[in-house]
Amino acid sequence: MIVLPESLQAWNSPAFEDIFKSEVGRLENSQLPLQKGLKHSSYVSDSEFNVVILKTSETSENLSIKTGVFYAGVIAGSCCADDPTPLDEQTEYCVIQFAINKLTAEAKIILLRDDL
């Protein structure tokens, strides 16, 4: 379960964007659906990712934050000990929707199609 209490507390403040990016940035890559969002590589790299807020909205129950996430993926070689293929990182991008519950700060995370 992912909880984003700092983002919930900062909602509608000038600091929201920075706080949200910082709080999400502390998540591990495996906590986000980055693997499912790959288009140019086969595995998500362990390197850092960057979040861009695309749209925010609010309902009576949730805060909704649509984000673009830039991250790195790698194309793995044959996994042989003598494989000369270097692990080059490829830039990847996906769109992720965060729905933060206003009472609990629990976040539901959904991978969206970015061509909509």
| Residue-by-residue DSSP string for 39-94 | SS-SEE-SS--EEEEEEEEE-SSEEEEEEEEEEEEE------TT------EEEEEE
Q: What is the pLDDT of residues 6-42, one digit of tens each?
A: 999 999 999 999 999 999 999 999 999 999 999 999 9
Q: What is the pLDDT of residues 7-16, one digit of tens each?
A: 999 999 999 9
For the stretch 62-90, pLDDT in tens is 999 999 999 999 987 655 655 556 667 89
Amino acid 89: pLDDT:
86
- Model pTM above 0.85: yes
Q: Which residues of 86-109 are buried (b: 16+ CB within 10 A; e: fewer)?
A: eeeeeebebbbbbebeeeebebeb
